[in-house]
Chains A and B, each alone.
Chain A
Amino acid sequence: MEDQNKKKILSLRWTAIIVTSYLIIFGKGKIAHIDLGHLFILVYILSNLLLIFIPQKWFSNLKFFYSLVLIDTGIVSLGMFLSEKVTTDFYLVFFFILIFASMSRNYKLLMIISGVTASLYGILLYSWGLLNSEQGISYIIRIPFIFIMAAFYGYIVQTFSKEKQRQLAISEDKYRGLFENANDGIIILRNSPLQIADVNREVERLTGCEREKLLQKDAMDLFAMSDREKALSFFEEVINKGEGRTDTLSLIRKDGESFEVDLSIKRIDLEDESFFQVIFRDLTEQRKLEKKIRESKRNLEAIFDGIRDQLSIQAPDYRILRVNMAVIGKYHTTFQELIARKCYEAYHQKTLPCEKCPVTMTIETKQPSSSIMKIPEDDSTLRVFSYPILDEKGNLSSVIEYTHDITEEQRLHEQLIQSEKLAGIGILASGIAHEINNPLSGIIGMAETSLEEEDISTIRSYLTDILNCGQRISEIVKGLRSYSRIAKQEEQNLIDMNDVLEESLKMVRLAVKTGEVEVAKNFQPIDKVVANLGEIQQVFTNLITNAFQATDGKGGILTLSTRSLRDSVEVKVSDNGMGIPQKYLSHIFDPFFTTKKTGEGTGLGLNIVYRIVTKYGGTIDVKSKEGLGTTFTLRFPTRRDEA
Chain B
Amino acid sequence: MNKKVLVIDDEETIRKFIKIQLGKAGYEVKEAADGEQGMVQLKRDRFDVLICDIMMPKKSGWEVLREVRSNPETSEIPVIFLTAKNEDDDMFKGYEQGVTYYITKPFTKSQLLFGLNTIFDKKKNSLY
Residues of A within 8 A of B108 (CB): 444-445, 448
Query: Contact between B13 and A469 (Cβ–Cβ < 8 Å)?
Result: yes
How distant is A460 from chain B, measured CB to nearest CB, in Å? Answer: 14
Contact of B16 among A439, A440, A448, A465 (CB under 8 A): A465
Residues of A within 8 A of B24 (CB): 452
Q: Whole-angstrom distance between the alpha carbons of A621 and B116 in the complex?
A: 47
Residues of A within 8 A of B14 (CB): 438, 441-442, 445
Q: Restricting to A465-512, which residues have a CB under 8 Å from any CB of B?
A: 465-466, 468-469
Closest B residue to A445 by CB, please name it: B17
Does chain A have a CB within 8 A of B26?
Answer: no
Q: Whole-angstrom distance between the alpha carbons of A340 and B105 in the complex?
A: 75
Q: Whole-angstrom distance between the alpha carbons of A449 and B23 in the complex?
A: 12
Does chain B have a CB within 8 A of A4?
Answer: no
Query: Contact between A598 and B84 (Cβ–Cβ < 8 Å)?
Result: no
Query: Contact between B18 and A445 (Cβ–Cβ < 8 Å)?
Result: yes
Does chain A have a CB within 8 A of B37?
Answer: no
Q: Whole-angstrom distance between the alpha carbons of A435 and B85 in the complex?
A: 9
Q: Whole-angstrom distance between the alpha carbons of A640 and B86 in the complex?
A: 42
Q: Whole-angstrom distance between the alpha carbons of A414 and B64 in the complex?
A: 42
Query: Contact between A430 and B87 (Cβ–Cβ < 8 Å)?
Result: yes
Closest A residue to B16 by CB, please name it: A465
A445-B106, A445-B109 known; A433 vs B17 contact (CB < 8 Å) = no
Residues of A within 8 A of B86 (CB): 433
Does chain B have a CB within 8 A of A595?
Answer: yes
Does chain B have a CB within 8 A of A157?
Answer: no
Query: Contact between B106 and A433 (Cβ–Cβ < 8 Å)?
Result: no
Query: Contact between A465 and B106 (Cβ–Cβ < 8 Å)?
Result: no
Does chain B have a CB within 8 A of A268?
Answer: no
Residues 64-96 of chain B: 1 if any A CB is under 8 Å from the residue's CB, otherwise 0?
Answer: 000000000000000000101111000000000
Residues 202-243 of chain A: 1 if any B CB is under 8 Å from the residue's CB, otherwise 0?
Answer: 000000000000000000000000000000000000000000
Closest A residue to B18 by CB, please name it: A445
Closest B residue to A468 by CB, please name it: B13
Query: Contact between A598 and B85 (Cβ–Cβ < 8 Å)?
Result: no
A449-B109, A465-B16 known; A434 vs B11 contact (CB < 8 Å) = no
Q: Whole-angstrom distance between the alpha carbons of A439 and B105 in the complex?
A: 9
Residues 418-442 of chain A: 1 if any B CB is under 8 Å from the residue's CB, otherwise 0?
Answer: 0000000000001001110111111
Query: Contact between A434 and B55 (Cβ–Cβ < 8 Å)?
Result: yes
Which of the listed residues A437, A441, A452, A595 has the most CB atoms from chain B within 10 Å of its own CB? A441
Does chain B have a CB within 8 A of A446?
Answer: yes
Q: Restricting to B99-127, which residues have a CB under 8 Å from any CB of A?
A: 105-109
Does chain A have a CB within 8 A of B36?
Answer: no
How distant is A87 from chain B, measured CB to nearest CB, in Å? Answer: 155
Q: Restricting to A488-542, which residues have a CB under 8 Å from any CB of B?
A: none
Q: What size tier do the contact residues of chain A reach?
A: 20 to 34
Residues of A within 8 A of B13 (CB): 439, 441-443, 445-446, 465-466, 468-469
How distant is B105 from chain A, measured CB to nearest CB, in Å? Answer: 4
Closest A residue to B20 by CB, please name it: A449
Residues of B within 8 A of A439 (CB): 11, 13
Contact of A440 among B57, B82, B105 (CB under 8 A): B105
Q: Whole-angstrom distance between the alpha carbons of A248 and B15 in the complex?
A: 106
Query: Contact between B17 and A438 (Cβ–Cβ < 8 Å)?
Result: no
Query: Contact between B109 and A438 (Cβ–Cβ < 8 Å)?
Result: no
Q: Whole-angstrom distance between the alpha carbons of A442 and B14 in the complex?
A: 5
Query: Contact between B85 and A442 (Cβ–Cβ < 8 Å)?
Result: no
How distant is A67 from chain B, measured CB to nearest CB, in Å? Answer: 130
Residues of A within 8 A of B87 (CB): 430
Residues of B within 8 A of A598 (CB): 10-12
Residues of B within 8 A of A434 (CB): 55, 84-85
Residues of A within 8 A of B17 (CB): 441-442, 445-446, 448-449
Closest A residue to B10 by CB, please name it: A598
How distant is A597 from chain B, measured CB to nearest CB, in Å? Answer: 8
Residues of B within 8 A of A438 (CB): 11, 14, 84, 105
How distant is A451 from chain B, measured CB to nearest CB, in Å? Answer: 10
Query: Contact between B105 and A441 (Cβ–Cβ < 8 Å)?
Result: yes
Residues 178-214 of chain A: 1 if any B CB is under 8 Å from the residue's CB, otherwise 0?
Answer: 0000000000000000000000000000000000000
Residues of A within 8 A of B109 (CB): 445, 448-449
Does chain A have a CB within 8 A of B21?
Answer: yes
Closest A residue to B11 by CB, please name it: A438
Residues of A within 8 A of B20 (CB): 449
How distant is B102 from chain A, measured CB to nearest CB, in Å? Answer: 14
Query: Contact between A437 and B21 (Cβ–Cβ < 8 Å)?
Result: no
Contact of B106 among A440, A449, A466, A597 (CB under 8 A): A440
Closest B residue to A448 by CB, please name it: B109
Q: Whole-angstrom distance between the alpha carbons of A412 and B70 in the complex?
A: 47
A434-B85, A438-B84, A449-B21 known; A444 vs B16 contact (CB < 8 Å) = no
How distant is A431 from chain B, measured CB to nearest CB, in Å? Answer: 9
Contact of B11 among A433, A442, A448, A466 (CB under 8 A): A442
Q: Whole-angstrom distance between the alpha carbons of A443 and B108 in the complex?
A: 10
Residues of B within 8 A of A595 (CB): 57
What are 27 inter-chain pairs, A to B, with CB distance below 8 A? A433-B86, A434-B55, A434-B84, A434-B85, A438-B84, A438-B105, A439-B11, A440-B106, A441-B13, A441-B17, A441-B82, A441-B84, A441-B106, A442-B14, A443-B13, A444-B107, A445-B108, A446-B16, A446-B17, A448-B109, A449-B20, A465-B13, A465-B16, A466-B13, A468-B13, A597-B57, A598-B10
Extra contacts besides A441-B84, A443-B106, A445-B107 (5): CB < 8 Å = A430-B85, A433-B84, A437-B84, A441-B106, A446-B16
